[in-house]
Structure 1
């Protein structure tokens, strides 16, 4: 994985698959966190050597737009998107320190991905029984909360039951996270649908602030990296849906053209320029369609 950039006045703390986290030193935000979205892209838990130009800025702008749409439902961790170092302007935010919950909060309105695998094996997703006969892309009777454990870099998140979340963080916080996750999904699903996009599912992260225990929405929110967005006019249950995300990269990696064997344990090879450009275009499409703003 490429090294995180050195930023004057900031101490590097941690790097994830896409984001780099720093602590600011000096100035008005001394001691606060700086979260920077890189142009890195990951598939199948590998961070690729090839980057997608502008991806970090697209994700940052999209998250900021969504945080604004959700501000009456839940506060966000963002303090400023303007007062950031020039080297990362446009792709970084100054954010509040949070005590993050060790839970990936996932809401699903449609059946696909790991939820489909669980359903095919057991008829359930995270312990929630679903009607028989559902297929890839089926709309669920109602959105469901399907939490997962947070995995270390290179590891897989694992779907868990609601009861497991209660045991981990307590019944009161578990209920709050479930209710907030479903409320955010309902708001975002309605907004996306008005723009001709289906929000199939989304992953959220919450933390508790240090100013009295508020629950705050952190990390990114409702981007193509954390959500599945499908063109509504092409939705057809029973097959994989076209999507506004990195599925182009996954499809290429799994194709004979790439020469990559997923079972080898080796990282996928460098992406061809045309795959990079098509992927960038899909991220821009998602941004423009959802926000109504031109890139």
Structure 2
């Protein structure tokens, strides 16, 4: 693992933007350098303390899943190595945590698949008996497995805001009937194949979100991060039961600790103690090691 990286500082390429975790630079007109930093956010606030090695885990898992799922849909991968597009002095910032990808036109809809009822889906179900316009059976418990995985899209929000659950009609109006149907079908196929594989490793994928984009020929591609602890809920199968929010391979230690602090959930967040940083880093590493072993 390299030392923790809170923010990259690549001077040899134009900076296009910084997200909660990723810094994005232009590589010519048709490619992007995407660096997964060790930043972590909680309650939509980016914290000052990075999680050592987190960016490497996110990159390693995404690359693993892209290879495993390449038969389902084209993806953003290229053969260009990150170390080859930066200067020698900048290579430590990209090694193990960056990729050079195709520059695509993003589809501004979060493509979410749920196999279990938890999080915002659980809240919507409690209030209406449905999620994203899909009526679900009565009597489901928190974290209960759904009869079949469902497509529950979300409208992408600005940085610092929550994505908003929307129904399928929203997607059809945004991108058209044909592309909406393809997004739904691909999302569910990707989820099913990934969930079946993860189950053999003792991990349940409760839900996940995918991002898609179009190339210049209009071909749909899978892009951004794929099936990581930041974009998915990974639960250890041996710790799962209905009726509770199961433990997960993500920033749970961070959220739980912050909930004990006197904080109004606006910047700046409290500084994280070393123990929380270490436990969180260990959970991310465990997810990578278990899935790719």
Which TM-score band (shorter chain)? Answer: over 0.9
Q: How does 1:1-295 map to 2 (within 5 A)?
A: 4-25=7-28, 31-80=30-79, 82-84=81-83, 85=86, 86=91, 87-210=93-216, 212-255=217-260, 258-262=261-265, 265-292=266-293
Q: From the superposition, tell whether residues 204 and 260 of structure 1 become closer, same or farther in structure 2 (CA, over 3 Å).
A: same
Residue 266 of structure 1 and its aligned partner are, at CA, apart by 4.1
Residue 8 of structure 1 and its aligned partner are, at CA, apart by 3.9
Q: CA RMSD in A?
A: 1.4
- Rounded to whole Å, the distance in 2 between the matches of 1:229 and 1:80 is 29
Q: What is the SS of the residue equivalent to 2:198?
A: helix
Residue 3 of structure 1 and its aligned partner are, at CA, apart by 7.9
Q: What is the SS of the residue equivalent to 2:270?
A: coil
Residue 32 of structure 1 and its aligned partner are, at CA, apart by 1.8
Question: Which has the higher mean CA deviation after the structures are superposed, 3-12 or 135-144?
Answer: 3-12
Question: What is the TM-score with the length of structure 1 in the denominator?
Answer: 0.92
- Rounded to whole Å, the distance in 2 between the matches of 1:49 and 1:182 is 36
Preserved contact between residue 32 and residue 97 of structure 1 (Cα < 8 Å): yes
Preserved contact between residue 154 and residue 164 of structure 2 (Cα < 8 Å): yes
Bigger relative CO (Cα 8 Å, ≥ 6 apart): 2
Q: Deviations over 1:87-137 (max 9, x none)?
A: 311111000011110100000000000000100000000000001111211
- Rounded to whole Å, the distance in 2 between the matches of 1:125 and 1:107 is 11
Residue 81 of structure 1 and its aligned partner are, at CA, apart by 6.2
- Structure 1: 5+ residue stretches without partners: none
Preserved contact between residue 82 and residue 94 of structure 2 (Cα < 8 Å): no
Question: What is the TM-score with the length of structure 2 in the denominator?
Answer: 0.93
Preserved contact between residue 111 and residue 152 of structure 2 (Cα < 8 Å): yes
Q: What is the SS of the residue equivalent to 2:164?
A: coil
Q: Deviations over 1:15-73 (max 9, x none)?
A: 11000110025xxxx65210110000011110101100111111101100000000000
